[in-house]
Amino acid sequence: MEGKFLQSFKIARIMGIPIELHITFILLLVVVFYFWGLEGLILYMFLFTSVVLHELGHSYVAKKYGVKIEKILLLPIGGMAMMSEISKEGEFKIAIAGPLVSLVLGSVLLGISTVTDYTLAEYPLFQTVGGLNILLGVFNLLPAFPMDGGRVFRSLLSKLTKMSYVKATKLASTIGQYFALLLLIFGLINFNVILVLIAIFIYFGASQEYRALVADTLFENVPAKDIMSKNIVYVNSEDTVDDVLNLMLENRFLGYPVREDGKIVGTITLNEISSSVAKTTKVKDIMSPPVMVPPNAALNELIRGMTNTDRVYVIDGENILGIISKTDLVRTLSILGLKNNQ
């Protein structure tokens, strides 16, 4: 489950990876059942089982490279393996694994269809699912972002030529955008809404891939020690909510490191206090765990590390050198963005 309302729910766990259905996928199943009945629904489920296997192909190889797989999310437009950052060394094998699974699965099903087949919703089951798997594999091997082939292409360019990783990404991204424009024109000429939507998805996905890499490259050269605030105000774990509120009024800071026996044991912010009623509640009872980083931690590491916290502490050994809040981070990102555009 995600967010305040139900957006997705787990239906299985394979290789230790949760498989989740997005709520919109359920709505699509209802639509398929309404128009094509039970047979159409079964055919559709076969197709999305193929998508799960495609994503499991990526995930299996990714785990071999130590990449953490959060989950595989099934959406109406396909599947998405949500994983941590992929290393450049493992990118080629991880990217190509999914399309290879689709191509092998498609070939097997097409082979079976020559011997036996079943008709569902007026379509031969093995032949249809096999053909679509071949199409999925070939489509994903196109050398353009955001398809898997874009990553394969980038990996080969950066390894086999002297082209930098950023330039290889730019080329694959540009190819993806041109391909999306051609697909858009074709979709408009043929009044095909599905192709138009796919073209839009590919175009923005391709441009986002390049922008994300440029930002990541820019930020990796900025260490935490260069943007931290050295003005540190502590609270003690035995202090009360009322003590912290008074401190907030006095210092205008909305979050503080919590100290106990000279060590940082937590973080207290206005968010934690807002959920507390009694002013006599002790800080240690509502504080959140502290997030600590070394002085040379790169800015892109901080961005990933501050997903679920308002601030991190820059630590050298047991000594706290400074604090970086989300406000500090946003300010730094804005300045770097303006500097990069000059």
Catalytic, 55? Answer yes
Instruction: Report which secondary-structure segment, H or E, holds 154.
Output: helix 148-160
Q: 48 to each of 87, 243, 335, how far by Cα in Å?
A: 28, 55, 44
Residues making up the binding site for Zn(2+): 54, 58, 148
Contact 314, 321 (CB under 8 A): yes
End-to-end CA distance of the chain: 43
User: Does residue 293 sit in helix, strand or coil?
Assistant: strand
Q: What residue type is assigned to position 122 of the chain?
A: E
Closest of 45, 153, 63, 46 to residue 99, by C-alpha = 153
Q: Transcribe 23-92 into DSSP letters.
A: HHHHHHHHHHHHHHHHHHHHHHHHHHHHHHHHHHHHHHHHHHTT--EEEEEEETTEEEEEESPPPTTTHH
For strand 78-83 and strand 69-75, is the pairing parallel, antiparallel, or unpaired? antiparallel
From the candidates 55, 91, 209, 272, which is the catalytic residue? 55
Q: What residue type is assigned to position 148 of the chain?
A: D
Q: What residue type is assigned to position 243 of the chain?
A: D
* Cα–Cα distance, 329 to 318 (Å, whole number): 23
Residues making up the binding site: 54, 58, 148
For strand 292-293 and strand 263-269, is the pairing parallel, antiparallel, or unpaired? unpaired
Catalytic site positions? 55
